[in-house]
Amino acid sequence: MANKKRKSTASKQRAKARQQQQRAAAGRAAQDAGSESTASAARQSIRRPGDRPPRAPRRRRRSRTPWVLVVGVVAVVGSLVVMFLTRTDDTSRGDASAGSIEKLTSVPATTLEAVGVPAEPSNVHRLPSGTPAVEQDGKPVVLYVGAEYCPFCAVERWPVVVALSRFGTFSGLESTTSAPPPETLPNTPSITFSGSTYTSDHLVFSSVETQTRDFTPLDTPTDFQQRLFDTFNVEPITGSSGAIPFVMIGNLYAWAGSQYDPGVLDGKDFDQIANALANPESDVAKEIGGAANYLTAMICQLTDDQPADVCSSAVIQQAKTALPTA
Amino acid sequence: MRVARWVPPVTMALALGGLAVSIYLTIAHYTDPDLLVCSDSGTVNCSAVTTSAQSTFLGIPVALLGLVWFVAMLALSLPVAWNATSRNVHLVRFAAALGGIGFVLWLVYAELIIIGVICLWCTIAHVLAFGLFVVVVTTAPDLLSEE
Protein backbone atom coordinates (compact mmCIF):
# COMPACT_ATOMS: atom_id res chain seq x y z
CA MET A 1 0.00 0.00 0.00
CA ALA A 2 2.83 2.37 1.05
CA ASN A 3 4.75 1.31 -2.01
CA LYS A 4 1.81 2.11 -4.21
CA LYS A 5 1.47 5.57 -2.64
CA ARG A 6 5.19 6.28 -3.28
CA LYS A 7 4.83 5.32 -6.91
CA SER A 8 1.88 7.67 -7.31
CA THR A 9 3.74 10.58 -5.71
CA ALA A 10 6.76 9.99 -7.97
CA SER A 11 4.51 9.90 -11.03
CA LYS A 12 2.92 13.23 -10.09
CA GLN A 13 6.33 14.80 -9.56
CA ARG A 14 7.52 13.64 -13.01
CA ALA A 15 4.42 15.05 -14.68
CA LYS A 16 4.87 18.39 -12.87
CA ALA A 17 8.52 18.58 -13.92
CA ARG A 18 7.56 17.81 -17.52
CA GLN A 19 5.00 20.63 -17.52
CA GLN A 20 7.55 23.08 -16.10
CA GLN A 21 10.03 22.11 -18.82
CA GLN A 22 7.45 22.61 -21.52
CA ARG A 23 6.45 26.03 -20.18
CA ALA A 24 10.08 27.10 -19.98
CA ALA A 25 10.64 25.93 -23.56
CA ALA A 26 7.58 27.80 -24.75
CA GLY A 27 8.74 30.97 -23.03
CA ARG A 28 12.16 30.69 -24.67
CA ALA A 29 10.57 30.16 -28.01
CA ALA A 30 8.48 33.27 -27.58
CA GLN A 31 11.51 35.28 -26.57
CA ASP A 32 13.52 33.95 -29.47
CA ALA A 33 10.83 35.08 -31.86
CA GLY A 34 10.97 38.54 -30.31
CA SER A 35 7.30 38.30 -29.83
CA GLU A 36 5.34 40.12 -27.20
CA SER A 37 3.59 36.96 -26.52
CA THR A 38 1.31 36.50 -23.63
CA ALA A 39 0.91 33.42 -21.59
CA SER A 40 -1.95 32.52 -23.84
CA ALA A 41 0.25 32.68 -26.90
CA ALA A 42 2.79 30.58 -25.14
CA ARG A 43 0.18 28.03 -24.31
CA GLN A 44 -0.85 27.90 -27.96
CA SER A 45 2.64 27.03 -28.97
CA ILE A 46 2.71 24.08 -26.71
CA ARG A 47 2.52 20.98 -28.79
CA ARG A 48 1.21 17.92 -27.28
CA PRO A 49 2.00 14.42 -28.44
CA GLY A 50 -0.26 13.64 -31.40
CA ASP A 51 -0.70 17.29 -32.40
CA ARG A 52 -0.23 18.02 -36.08
CA PRO A 53 2.83 20.04 -36.98
CA PRO A 54 1.98 23.71 -37.66
CA ARG A 55 1.17 24.39 -41.31
CA ALA A 56 3.31 26.64 -43.38
CA PRO A 57 1.39 29.83 -44.33
CA ARG A 58 -0.79 28.94 -47.34
CA ARG A 59 -0.46 30.95 -50.54
CA ARG A 60 -3.70 32.62 -51.59
CA ARG A 61 -5.41 30.40 -54.15
CA ARG A 62 -5.96 32.12 -57.48
CA SER A 63 -9.54 32.22 -58.67
CA ARG A 64 -10.38 30.02 -61.62
CA THR A 65 -13.37 32.17 -62.58
CA PRO A 66 -11.51 34.34 -65.14
CA TRP A 67 -10.31 31.33 -67.05
CA VAL A 68 -13.77 29.80 -66.89
CA LEU A 69 -15.04 32.98 -68.58
CA VAL A 70 -12.31 32.87 -71.22
CA VAL A 71 -12.90 29.20 -71.94
CA GLY A 72 -16.65 29.87 -72.08
CA VAL A 73 -16.18 32.57 -74.71
CA VAL A 74 -13.89 30.32 -76.75
CA ALA A 75 -16.43 27.49 -76.49
CA VAL A 76 -19.29 29.70 -77.70
CA VAL A 77 -17.27 30.97 -80.66
CA GLY A 78 -16.14 27.44 -81.44
CA SER A 79 -19.74 26.23 -81.44
CA LEU A 80 -20.77 29.04 -83.77
CA VAL A 81 -17.93 28.20 -86.15
CA VAL A 82 -18.95 24.53 -86.17
CA MET A 83 -22.57 25.53 -86.91
CA PHE A 84 -21.32 27.80 -89.68
CA LEU A 85 -19.18 25.11 -91.23
CA THR A 86 -21.83 22.42 -91.04
CA ARG A 87 -24.80 24.51 -92.14
CA THR A 88 -26.80 23.28 -95.07
CA ASP A 89 -27.78 25.58 -97.88
CA ASP A 90 -30.27 23.15 -99.31
CA THR A 91 -33.34 24.82 -97.90
CA SER A 92 -34.86 24.83 -101.33
CA ARG A 93 -37.79 23.15 -102.94
CA GLY A 94 -40.41 21.21 -101.12
CA ASP A 95 -39.59 22.27 -97.58
CA ALA A 96 -43.14 23.38 -96.85
CA SER A 97 -45.28 21.02 -94.81
CA ALA A 98 -48.20 19.34 -96.47
CA GLY A 99 -51.09 21.78 -96.56
CA SER A 100 -49.00 24.94 -96.33
CA ILE A 101 -49.31 25.66 -100.04
CA GLU A 102 -53.07 25.22 -99.73
CA LYS A 103 -53.16 27.71 -96.86
CA LEU A 104 -51.48 30.19 -99.15
CA THR A 105 -53.90 29.67 -102.02
CA SER A 106 -56.97 29.79 -99.81
CA VAL A 107 -56.51 32.71 -97.47
CA PRO A 108 -60.03 33.39 -96.17
CA ALA A 109 -61.77 36.41 -97.66
CA THR A 110 -62.69 37.51 -94.14
CA THR A 111 -58.98 37.64 -93.24
CA LEU A 112 -58.15 39.73 -96.30
CA GLU A 113 -61.10 41.97 -95.49
CA ALA A 114 -59.87 42.34 -91.90
CA VAL A 115 -56.29 43.27 -92.78
CA GLY A 116 -57.45 46.08 -95.07
CA VAL A 117 -54.92 47.98 -97.15
CA PRO A 118 -52.09 50.39 -96.44
CA ALA A 119 -52.87 54.05 -97.05
CA GLU A 120 -51.45 53.80 -100.54
CA PRO A 121 -49.94 51.06 -102.68
CA SER A 122 -46.19 50.81 -102.56
CA ASN A 123 -44.04 50.85 -105.66
CA VAL A 124 -46.95 50.60 -108.13
CA HIS A 125 -46.82 52.61 -111.37
CA ARG A 126 -49.68 53.34 -113.71
CA LEU A 127 -48.90 52.51 -117.32
CA PRO A 128 -49.26 55.38 -119.74
CA SER A 129 -52.74 55.93 -121.10
CA GLY A 130 -53.00 54.52 -124.56
CA THR A 131 -51.00 51.41 -123.72
CA PRO A 132 -52.53 48.70 -125.90
CA ALA A 133 -54.40 45.86 -124.24
CA VAL A 134 -52.19 43.01 -123.10
CA GLU A 135 -54.14 39.84 -123.78
CA GLN A 136 -53.76 36.16 -124.56
CA ASP A 137 -56.60 33.93 -125.68
CA GLY A 138 -58.91 36.90 -125.33
CA LYS A 139 -58.15 37.35 -121.65
CA PRO A 140 -56.16 40.08 -119.98
CA VAL A 141 -52.65 39.08 -118.89
CA VAL A 142 -50.93 39.39 -115.55
CA LEU A 143 -47.20 39.04 -116.16
CA TYR A 144 -44.53 38.02 -113.68
CA VAL A 145 -40.82 37.86 -114.57
CA GLY A 146 -38.42 36.79 -111.84
CA ALA A 147 -35.89 34.22 -110.72
CA GLU A 148 -35.66 31.76 -107.86
CA TYR A 149 -32.42 33.22 -106.49
CA CYS A 150 -33.92 36.71 -106.29
CA PRO A 151 -34.95 37.66 -102.74
CA PHE A 152 -37.41 40.39 -103.71
CA CYS A 153 -39.03 37.97 -106.15
CA ALA A 154 -39.45 35.63 -103.19
CA VAL A 155 -41.05 38.45 -101.24
CA GLU A 156 -43.37 39.47 -104.07
CA ARG A 157 -44.64 36.00 -104.96
CA TRP A 158 -46.57 35.73 -101.69
CA PRO A 159 -49.15 38.46 -102.43
CA VAL A 160 -49.21 37.50 -106.11
CA VAL A 161 -50.29 33.95 -105.24
CA VAL A 162 -52.77 35.13 -102.60
CA ALA A 163 -54.39 37.59 -105.00
CA LEU A 164 -54.41 35.39 -108.10
CA SER A 165 -55.91 32.54 -106.10
CA ARG A 166 -59.07 34.64 -105.84
CA PHE A 167 -59.42 34.67 -109.64
CA GLY A 168 -58.36 31.15 -110.56
CA THR A 169 -56.54 28.01 -109.47
CA PHE A 170 -52.87 27.21 -109.17
CA SER A 171 -51.49 23.73 -109.44
CA GLY A 172 -47.95 22.48 -109.12
CA LEU A 173 -46.77 25.25 -106.82
CA GLU A 174 -43.72 24.31 -104.80
CA SER A 175 -42.02 26.06 -101.94
CA THR A 176 -38.50 27.34 -102.37
CA THR A 177 -36.13 29.89 -100.91
CA SER A 178 -34.07 32.63 -102.45
CA ALA A 179 -30.31 32.26 -102.82
CA PRO A 180 -28.19 31.45 -99.77
CA PRO A 181 -25.68 33.92 -98.31
CA PRO A 182 -24.00 36.13 -99.26
CA GLU A 183 -27.00 37.29 -101.24
CA THR A 184 -29.23 39.95 -99.75
CA LEU A 185 -32.08 38.55 -97.62
CA PRO A 186 -30.67 35.05 -98.00
CA ASN A 187 -32.92 32.01 -97.98
CA THR A 188 -36.15 34.01 -98.02
CA PRO A 189 -38.97 31.46 -98.08
CA SER A 190 -41.30 31.58 -101.04
CA ILE A 191 -43.01 29.70 -103.85
CA THR A 192 -41.66 29.13 -107.31
CA PHE A 193 -43.82 29.57 -110.38
CA SER A 194 -41.54 27.30 -112.37
CA GLY A 195 -43.41 24.11 -113.12
CA SER A 196 -46.75 25.47 -111.95
CA THR A 197 -49.89 26.11 -113.95
CA TYR A 198 -52.69 28.59 -113.42
CA THR A 199 -56.19 28.41 -114.82
CA SER A 200 -58.80 31.14 -114.64
CA ASP A 201 -61.98 32.16 -116.41
CA HIS A 202 -60.99 35.79 -116.03
CA LEU A 203 -57.32 36.20 -116.88
CA VAL A 204 -54.08 34.61 -118.00
CA PHE A 205 -51.17 34.48 -115.62
CA SER A 206 -47.94 34.48 -117.59
CA SER A 207 -44.93 33.78 -115.40
CA VAL A 208 -41.29 32.91 -115.88
CA GLU A 209 -38.47 32.14 -113.45
CA THR A 210 -35.28 32.66 -115.40
CA GLN A 211 -32.73 31.16 -112.97
CA THR A 212 -32.59 28.74 -110.08
CA ARG A 213 -31.57 29.73 -106.57
CA ASP A 214 -28.01 28.77 -107.44
CA PHE A 215 -28.07 31.00 -110.54
CA THR A 216 -28.23 28.31 -113.17
CA PRO A 217 -30.57 29.03 -116.11
CA LEU A 218 -34.11 27.79 -115.59
CA ASP A 219 -37.01 28.86 -117.81
CA THR A 220 -36.60 30.98 -120.91
CA PRO A 221 -39.02 33.89 -121.35
CA THR A 222 -41.32 33.56 -124.31
CA ASP A 223 -41.08 36.23 -126.98
CA PHE A 224 -44.29 37.68 -125.62
CA GLN A 225 -42.91 37.89 -122.07
CA GLN A 226 -39.58 39.26 -123.23
CA ARG A 227 -41.23 41.94 -125.35
CA LEU A 228 -43.39 43.15 -122.47
CA PHE A 229 -40.39 43.10 -120.14
CA ASP A 230 -38.21 45.08 -122.54
CA THR A 231 -40.94 47.56 -123.37
CA PHE A 232 -42.39 48.35 -119.97
CA ASN A 233 -39.67 47.58 -117.40
CA VAL A 234 -37.88 50.79 -118.20
CA GLU A 235 -36.80 53.81 -116.20
CA PRO A 236 -39.67 56.14 -117.20
CA ILE A 237 -42.30 53.59 -116.20
CA THR A 238 -41.02 51.43 -113.34
CA GLY A 239 -38.02 53.50 -112.32
CA SER A 240 -35.73 50.59 -113.12
CA SER A 241 -33.97 49.24 -116.15
CA GLY A 242 -34.68 45.57 -116.15
CA ALA A 243 -34.77 44.80 -112.44
CA ILE A 244 -36.72 41.80 -111.20
CA PRO A 245 -39.26 40.90 -110.08
CA PHE A 246 -41.24 42.62 -112.79
CA VAL A 247 -45.00 42.49 -112.48
CA MET A 248 -47.45 43.87 -115.01
CA ILE A 249 -51.21 44.01 -114.58
CA GLY A 250 -52.45 44.06 -118.17
CA ASN A 251 -52.10 47.48 -119.68
CA LEU A 252 -52.84 49.24 -116.40
CA TYR A 253 -50.06 48.90 -113.83
CA ALA A 254 -46.46 47.70 -113.57
CA TRP A 255 -43.65 47.68 -111.07
CA ALA A 256 -40.22 46.24 -110.43
CA GLY A 257 -39.45 45.06 -106.92
CA SER A 258 -41.63 44.11 -104.01
CA GLN A 259 -44.73 45.84 -102.70
CA TYR A 260 -44.13 45.50 -98.98
CA ASP A 261 -41.48 45.37 -96.27
CA PRO A 262 -39.47 42.13 -96.60
CA GLY A 263 -38.58 42.44 -92.93
CA VAL A 264 -41.83 40.75 -91.89
CA LEU A 265 -40.53 37.49 -93.37
CA ASP A 266 -37.21 37.70 -91.55
CA GLY A 267 -36.48 34.62 -89.46
CA LYS A 268 -39.66 32.81 -90.51
CA ASP A 269 -39.91 29.60 -92.48
CA PHE A 270 -42.52 28.78 -95.10
CA ASP A 271 -44.95 27.14 -92.69
CA GLN A 272 -44.78 29.99 -90.21
CA ILE A 273 -45.58 32.51 -92.94
CA ALA A 274 -48.39 30.37 -94.35
CA ASN A 275 -49.89 29.94 -90.88
CA ALA A 276 -49.55 33.63 -90.04
CA LEU A 277 -51.47 34.56 -93.18
CA ALA A 278 -54.66 33.31 -91.59
CA ASN A 279 -54.26 35.62 -88.60
CA PRO A 280 -55.32 39.15 -89.53
CA GLU A 281 -53.53 40.49 -86.45
CA SER A 282 -50.13 39.24 -87.61
CA ASP A 283 -47.69 41.54 -89.36
CA VAL A 284 -47.29 38.91 -92.06
CA ALA A 285 -51.02 38.97 -92.86
CA LYS A 286 -51.11 42.78 -92.76
CA GLU A 287 -48.16 43.18 -95.14
CA ILE A 288 -48.85 40.31 -97.54
CA GLY A 289 -52.63 40.62 -97.27
CA GLY A 290 -52.50 44.39 -97.76
CA ALA A 291 -50.36 44.02 -100.88
CA ALA A 292 -52.63 41.20 -102.11
CA ASN A 293 -55.68 43.42 -101.67
CA TYR A 294 -54.12 46.13 -103.83
CA LEU A 295 -53.19 43.49 -106.42
CA THR A 296 -56.76 42.20 -106.33
CA ALA A 297 -58.12 45.72 -106.84
CA MET A 298 -55.83 46.20 -109.87
CA ILE A 299 -56.84 42.86 -111.37
CA CYS A 300 -60.51 43.66 -110.77
CA GLN A 301 -60.07 46.73 -112.97
CA LEU A 302 -58.66 44.44 -115.61
CA THR A 303 -61.47 41.85 -115.39
CA ASP A 304 -64.34 44.33 -115.27
CA ASP A 305 -64.89 43.54 -111.61
CA GLN A 306 -65.19 39.80 -112.09
CA PRO A 307 -65.67 37.69 -110.08
CA ALA A 308 -68.20 39.97 -108.46
CA ASP A 309 -68.00 38.49 -104.98
CA VAL A 310 -64.29 39.29 -104.87
CA CYS A 311 -64.30 42.66 -106.57
CA SER A 312 -67.32 44.07 -104.78
CA SER A 313 -65.89 43.60 -101.30
CA ALA A 314 -65.49 46.77 -99.27
CA VAL A 315 -61.73 46.51 -98.92
CA ILE A 316 -61.23 46.05 -102.68
CA GLN A 317 -63.46 49.03 -103.39
CA GLN A 318 -61.44 51.03 -100.89
CA ALA A 319 -58.18 49.88 -102.47
CA LYS A 320 -59.32 50.96 -105.92
CA THR A 321 -59.68 54.54 -104.78
CA ALA A 322 -56.01 54.64 -103.70
CA LEU A 323 -54.53 53.22 -106.89
CA PRO A 324 -52.50 55.60 -109.05
CA THR A 325 -54.28 57.09 -112.01
CA ALA A 326 -52.96 57.78 -115.49
CA MET B 1 -1.55 45.95 -55.85
CA ARG B 2 0.32 46.71 -59.03
CA VAL B 3 -0.31 44.67 -62.13
CA ALA B 4 2.47 42.99 -64.05
CA ARG B 5 4.58 45.44 -66.02
CA TRP B 6 3.50 44.03 -69.36
CA VAL B 7 -0.22 44.56 -68.74
CA PRO B 8 -0.59 48.31 -69.44
CA PRO B 9 1.41 48.38 -72.69
CA VAL B 10 -0.20 45.21 -74.01
CA THR B 11 -3.75 46.36 -73.31
CA MET B 12 -2.99 49.80 -74.73
CA ALA B 13 -1.67 48.21 -77.90
CA LEU B 14 -4.76 46.02 -78.22
CA ALA B 15 -7.07 48.98 -77.64
CA LEU B 16 -5.17 51.17 -80.10
CA GLY B 17 -5.32 48.44 -82.74
CA GLY B 18 -9.05 47.98 -82.19
CA LEU B 19 -9.57 51.72 -82.32
CA ALA B 20 -7.79 51.97 -85.66
CA VAL B 21 -9.90 49.16 -87.15
CA SER B 22 -13.10 50.69 -85.74
CA ILE B 23 -12.27 54.06 -87.26
CA TYR B 24 -11.72 52.36 -90.61
CA LEU B 25 -15.03 50.50 -90.37
CA THR B 26 -16.89 53.62 -89.23
CA ILE B 27 -15.57 55.68 -92.14
CA ALA B 28 -16.58 52.90 -94.54
CA HIS B 29 -20.02 52.76 -92.96
CA TYR B 30 -20.65 56.47 -93.43
CA THR B 31 -19.05 56.76 -96.86
CA ASP B 32 -18.67 53.71 -99.07
CA PRO B 33 -18.77 50.08 -97.85
CA ASP B 34 -16.55 49.16 -100.79
CA LEU B 35 -13.83 51.29 -99.21
CA LEU B 36 -12.86 48.25 -97.14
CA VAL B 37 -10.00 46.26 -98.61
CA CYS B 38 -11.83 42.98 -98.49
CA SER B 39 -13.36 40.28 -100.63
CA ASP B 40 -16.93 40.98 -101.73
CA SER B 41 -17.88 37.44 -102.62
CA GLY B 42 -17.66 34.03 -101.02
CA THR B 43 -17.33 33.30 -97.34
CA VAL B 44 -15.39 36.48 -96.58
CA ASN B 45 -17.56 39.40 -97.63
CA CYS B 46 -17.15 42.62 -95.67
CA SER B 47 -19.75 44.71 -97.44
CA ALA B 48 -22.43 42.02 -97.04
CA VAL B 49 -21.88 42.29 -93.28
CA THR B 50 -21.39 46.05 -92.99
CA THR B 51 -24.56 46.74 -94.99
CA SER B 52 -26.68 44.07 -93.32
CA ALA B 53 -29.57 44.72 -90.95
CA GLN B 54 -27.23 43.63 -88.14
CA SER B 55 -24.76 46.43 -88.93
CA THR B 56 -26.73 48.75 -86.66
CA PHE B 57 -27.87 48.31 -83.09
CA LEU B 58 -30.77 50.46 -81.92
CA GLY B 59 -30.14 52.60 -84.96
CA ILE B 60 -26.47 53.13 -84.14
CA PRO B 61 -23.84 51.67 -86.47
CA VAL B 62 -22.01 48.88 -84.64
CA ALA B 63 -18.75 50.20 -86.11
CA LEU B 64 -19.33 53.42 -84.19
CA LEU B 65 -20.21 51.50 -81.04
CA GLY B 66 -16.94 49.60 -81.42
CA LEU B 67 -15.05 52.85 -81.83
CA VAL B 68 -16.53 54.27 -78.63
CA TRP B 69 -15.80 51.02 -76.77
CA PHE B 70 -12.15 50.93 -77.84
CA VAL B 71 -11.72 54.58 -76.84
CA ALA B 72 -13.07 53.74 -73.39
CA MET B 73 -10.86 50.66 -73.13
CA LEU B 74 -7.85 52.67 -74.20
CA ALA B 75 -8.49 55.15 -71.40
CA LEU B 76 -8.93 52.29 -68.93
CA SER B 77 -5.70 50.70 -70.16
CA LEU B 78 -3.46 53.66 -69.43
CA PRO B 79 -0.84 52.96 -66.73
CA VAL B 80 -2.49 55.50 -64.46
CA ALA B 81 -5.74 53.56 -64.72
CA TRP B 82 -4.10 50.19 -64.09
CA ASN B 83 -2.32 51.62 -61.04
CA ALA B 84 -5.38 53.44 -59.75
CA THR B 85 -6.08 52.86 -56.09
CA SER B 86 -9.80 53.24 -56.63
CA ARG B 87 -11.46 49.85 -56.91
CA ASN B 88 -14.17 51.44 -59.08
CA VAL B 89 -11.75 51.99 -61.96
CA HIS B 90 -10.98 48.28 -62.07
CA LEU B 91 -14.64 47.42 -61.67
CA VAL B 92 -15.58 49.63 -64.64
CA ARG B 93 -12.81 48.07 -66.77
CA PHE B 94 -14.00 44.58 -65.84
CA ALA B 95 -17.63 45.42 -66.63
CA ALA B 96 -16.64 47.04 -69.93
CA ALA B 97 -14.64 43.98 -70.93
CA LEU B 98 -17.56 41.69 -70.10
CA GLY B 99 -20.04 43.87 -71.97
CA GLY B 100 -17.68 44.15 -74.92
CA ILE B 101 -17.14 40.43 -75.29
CA GLY B 102 -20.87 39.83 -74.94
CA PHE B 103 -21.51 42.17 -77.85
CA VAL B 104 -18.71 40.54 -79.83
CA LEU B 105 -20.40 37.15 -79.35
CA TRP B 106 -23.65 38.60 -80.71
CA LEU B 107 -21.82 40.01 -83.73
CA VAL B 108 -20.04 36.72 -84.40
CA TYR B 109 -23.42 34.97 -84.20
CA ALA B 110 -24.87 37.53 -86.63
CA GLU B 111 -22.02 37.01 -89.08
CA LEU B 112 -21.84 33.23 -88.98
CA ILE B 113 -25.45 32.25 -88.47
CA ILE B 114 -27.71 35.09 -89.62
CA ILE B 115 -25.76 36.65 -92.47
CA GLY B 116 -23.67 33.59 -93.26
CA VAL B 117 -20.47 35.36 -94.23
CA ILE B 118 -17.46 36.77 -92.40
CA CYS B 119 -16.22 40.34 -92.35
CA LEU B 120 -12.43 40.29 -92.23
CA TRP B 121 -12.01 43.68 -90.56
CA CYS B 122 -14.78 43.03 -88.09
CA THR B 123 -13.07 39.78 -87.14
CA ILE B 124 -9.79 41.60 -86.52
CA ALA B 125 -11.65 43.97 -84.18
CA HIS B 126 -13.27 40.99 -82.46
CA VAL B 127 -9.92 39.27 -81.90
CA LEU B 128 -8.44 42.44 -80.41
CA ALA B 129 -11.49 42.82 -78.16
CA PHE B 130 -11.07 39.20 -77.07
CA GLY B 131 -7.42 39.88 -76.24
CA LEU B 132 -8.43 42.80 -74.06
CA PHE B 133 -11.08 40.65 -72.41
CA VAL B 134 -8.58 37.92 -71.55
CA VAL B 135 -6.09 40.32 -69.98
CA VAL B 136 -8.72 42.28 -68.08
CA VAL B 137 -10.61 39.33 -66.62
CA THR B 138 -7.48 37.43 -65.62
CA THR B 139 -6.09 40.43 -63.78
CA ALA B 140 -9.42 41.44 -62.28
CA PRO B 141 -9.50 39.09 -59.25
CA ASP B 142 -6.27 40.52 -57.81
CA LEU B 143 -7.33 44.10 -58.45
CA LEU B 144 -10.92 43.77 -57.32
CA SER B 145 -10.17 41.75 -54.18
CA GLU B 146 -7.93 44.47 -52.71
CA GLU B 147 -9.26 46.44 -49.78
Kindly state whether B24 is in contact with chain A, defined as any CB-CB distance less than 8 angstroms.
no
pLDDT at B1: 63
Which tens digit of pLDDT belongs to each residue from B107-128?
Answer: 999 999 887 788 999 999 999 9
Separation of alpha carbons B89 and B75, rounded Å: 10
- Asked whether residue A94 is domain-assigned, the answer is no
Which tens digit of pLDDT belongs to each residue from A133-169?
Answer: 999 999 999 999 999 999 999 999 999 999 999 999 9
The domain total for chain A is 1
Q: Contact A70/B133, CB-based, under 8 Å? A: yes
Q: Which of A66, A80, A266 sits opposite B137 (nearest CB)?
A: A66
Q: Contact B112/A84, CB-based, under 8 Å? A: yes
Q: State how far residue B136 is from chain A, nearest Cα, in angstroms.
A: 9
Q: Is A142 helix (H, G, I), strand (E, B) or coil?
A: strand
Residues of B in contact with A180 (CB under 8 A): 116
Q: Contact A73/B101, CB-based, under 8 Å? A: yes
Nearest alpha-carbon partner for B77 in B141, B18, B26, B147: B18
φ/ψ of residue A19, rounded to 5:
-65, -40
Q: What's the topology of domain B7-144?
A: de novo design (two linked rop proteins) (1.20.1440)
Q: State how far residue B27 is from chain A, nearest Cα, in angstroms.
A: 22
Domain ranges of chain B: 7-144
Residues of B in contact with A70 (CB under 8 A): 133-134, 137-138
Bridge partners, residue A209, by sequence: A146
**Whole-number Cα distances in Å, A277 to A29, A102, A103, A154:** 90, 12, 8, 16
Q: State how far residue A144 is from chain B, nearest Cα, in angstroms.
A: 28
Residues of B in contact with A83 (CB under 8 A): 112-113
- Asked whether residue A6 is domain-assigned, the answer is no
Q: Which of B115, B130, B134 sits opposite A181 (nearest CB)?
A: B115
Secondary structure (DSSP) of B80-94: HHHT-S-HHHHHHHH
- Asked whether residue A122 is domain-assigned, the answer is yes
pLDDT at A269: 87
pLDDT surpasses 90 at B23: yes
Kindly state whether B42 is in contact with chain A, defined as any CB-CB distance less than 8 angstroms.
yes
- Asked whether residue A138 is domain-assigned, the answer is yes
Kindly state whether A262 is in contact with chain B, defined as any CB-CB distance less than 8 angstroms.
no
Q: Is B118 helix (H, G, I), strand (E, B) or coil?
A: strand
Residues of A in contact with B41 (CB under 8 A): 182
pLDDT at B134: 96
Cα A219 to its chain centre, rounded Å, is: 30
Q: Contact B108/A87, CB-based, under 8 Å? A: no
Calculate mean pLDDT across residues A78-89: 82
φ/ψ of residue A165, rounded to 5:
-65, -15
Strands A204-209 vs A139-146: parallel, antiparallel or unpaired:
parallel
Model-level pTM? 0.56
pLDDT at A11: 54
- Asked whether residue A228 is domain-assigned, the answer is yes
Strands A197-200 vs A168-171: parallel, antiparallel or unpaired:
antiparallel
pLDDT surpasses 60 at A33: no
Kindly state whether A59 is in contact with chain B, defined as any CB-CB distance less than 8 angstroms.
no
Kindly state whether B48 is in contact with chain A, defined as any CB-CB distance less than 8 angstroms.
yes
Q: How confident is the model at residue A1 (pLDDT cuts 50, 70, 90)?
A: very low
Residues in chain A: 326
Cβ pair A311, A138 in contact under 8 A: no
Which residues are CB-contacts of A151 (< 8 A; sequence separation ≥ 6)?
Answer: A178, A179, A183, A184, A185, A186, A188, A262
- Asked whether residue A274 is domain-assigned, the answer is yes
pLDDT at A317: 96
Which tens digit of pLDDT belongs to each residue from A264-291?
Answer: 998 888 988 999 998 999 999 999 999 9
Q: Chain A residue closest to B107 (CA)? A: A77
Its domain, for residue A147, covers 100-322
Kindly state whether B55 is in contact with chain A, defined as any CB-CB distance less than 8 angstroms.
no
Burial class (CB in 10 A: 0-12, 13-18, 19+), A30: middle
More confident of the two residues A52 and A264: A264
Kindly state whether B30 is in contact with chain A, defined as any CB-CB distance less than 8 angstroms.
no
Q: Contact B117/A181, CB-based, under 8 Å? A: yes
